[in-house]
Amino acid sequence: MIRVLIVDDSAFIRRVLSEELSKFEDIEVVGTAIDPYVARDKIVSERPDVITLDIEMPRMDGLSFLSKLMHHYPMPVVIVSSLSKENSETALHALELGAVEVIPKPGSQFSLPDVPHRLIQAIRAAAVADVTKRRRAPGNGNAKPEPVAPILSSIQTSHKILAIGASTGGTQAIETMLRGMPATMPGATIVQHMPEYFTKAFADRLNKVCNIEVREARDNDLVLTGVALIAPGNHHMVLERSGAQYLVRIKDGPPVHHQRPSVDVLFQSVARNAGRNALGVLLTGMGADGAKGLLAMKDSGAHTIAQDEQSCVVFGMPKEAIKLGAAGQVMPLVDIGPAVLNRFAAPSDHKAAKVKKAVSKAV
């Protein structure tokens, strides 16, 4: 049973969330709170497993409370707030502070039709999340780090594609992967489960702290060396080939694994159109999205990597991929970026590395 505390200044929202959550046998609403001060006392008395938290509240805003909570008493928090283009940066900040998920309020202007399902899935993901792993990616503020130096001297990027999928905990995991990547890295296509508008803010933030260019994908964007394209929220992204070039198409369509964008949709298209020229990476997340797609990539000749359990916030998607035999390698998050670069290194570099090693021994 997942014990949930609802924190929101709106009596209507507290009632709606309580009613929705009470429909599920594995969830128990143990209390509600009108603001963080009441929430503080109820955390002590009720010991909830998960908190749902609004951002805009009286006496203390949700972000301030989240920051204090994660510092003094870390626990799973799901932000449930009115989401819009204007406050997407605030929501991203909540994820940086330690929130497990951010979803729209039921009935808000920008809510998705499946908010009740998203709410339940977010709470279930939060209940099994290891919040101690939700730390900011290495780096100094917004300063761009020195590029990660692969063991081999250069990267052969012609016709190479990097495909990445992530969900719960993925914003920090993707940043960890991309920070320090050199401008010579292969073009990347990325699906991170996020609401509409948030993907643009997420891409813009990554673009400020990475050496590569990161942006939200547009229909018919070419996949270019040193550029990472993030699928826009509420749209699927697929890879296509046009002559000697790869491009992405942005499409509608039904959700897959209740997700749009879906990792499986991207990975299946990469398997069809890039085959052995691709490398697939499946990161932390709840559910099974991406597992079958990663298997399709592996079967098409692509190299595949899954994040290991010890470094995952939620070991769901990678676990399903590993069970299917879809992961060619399983490794900690911090090792994935260097592994990607070395995998794409030109064959001549491998030979040069062996020669250098032999010469150094002789000398």
* 167 has catalytic annotation: yes
Contacts of 151 (CB under 8 A, 6+ apart): 338, 342, 345, 353
* 158 has catalytic annotation: no
* 289 has catalytic annotation: yes
Strands of 213-216's sheet, edge to edge?
A: 213-216, 227-230, 187-192, 161-166, 278-282, 303-307, 329-331
The catalytic residue among 81, 88, 167, 300 is 167
Contacts of 58 (CB under 8 A, 6+ apart): 9, 34, 35
Both tokens of 18, joined, read 């309580």
Instruction: Return the sign of the alpha-carbon dihedral for residues 224, 228, 234, 236.
Output: positive
3-state class (DSSP) for residue 15: helix
The stretches of the chain forming alpha helices (DSSP H) are: 11-21, 36-46, 62-72, 88-97, 115-128, 170-178, 198-209, 263-273, 291-299, 317-323, 333-343, 347-362
The catalytic residue among 130, 264, 289, 308 is 289
The catalytic residue among 35, 54, 81, 193 is 193
CA distances from 222 to 215, 227, 229 (A): 12, 9, 9
List the catalytic residues.
167, 193, 289
